[in-house]
Structure 1
Amino acid sequence: MREHRGSQWDYRVDNESVTERAARHRRSIGLCAACPETARKACRDLHDELTNHYNDRVPGIWAGVVYVDRDPDKEPATKLLALYTRQELAA
């Protein structure tokens, strides 16, 4: 099976260290913070729509929030993880 290269917005990328993942997540959140609120709202709405459609969590970075992967074979499930609050991003 081919390795998943991933994208800036994926929760997990194959062969990426925890440190590399955290740095990529921070960059993604910073990019989200630069978007206008209308774009972040559209992103949040799309995430909610996909979550409802698939009746499951959709992992990745959506509107500046990191939604963790819930694949039990990869890592234990954790709650929603926001690396920065909206107030911290606005500052």
Structure 2
Amino acid sequence: MIAVCSVHTAIRPVLRSSWINPAVNILNRSRRLIKVGAIGGVVTALCCFTPVLIWLFALLGISALVGYLDYVLFPLLAVFLILLAIGLRRRRRDRSI
């Protein structure tokens, strides 16, 4: 914790994600990219390579749309893997500084 003087109180603790320490925000952004990329990639891969989404579409009665899943799922998988790679690259770059 960092102590900062303020007009209203003599000393108050500053939260880790405050505007005073921008390095924490950069690390949080790379961590968020890694989480979104990893979770999205796993979920999209499960939907791509297992019949989970086909069963769900059949259950909902919209199984006619199964033929179009490849047009959506493969680019979505690529986007999540790119987000994961960007997050890992930013984290490695920030830690080397």
Q: Same fold, TM exceeding 0.5?
A: no
Greater length-normalized contact order (CA 8 Å, ≥ 6 residues apart):
2
Normalized against structure 2, the TM-score is what? 0.29
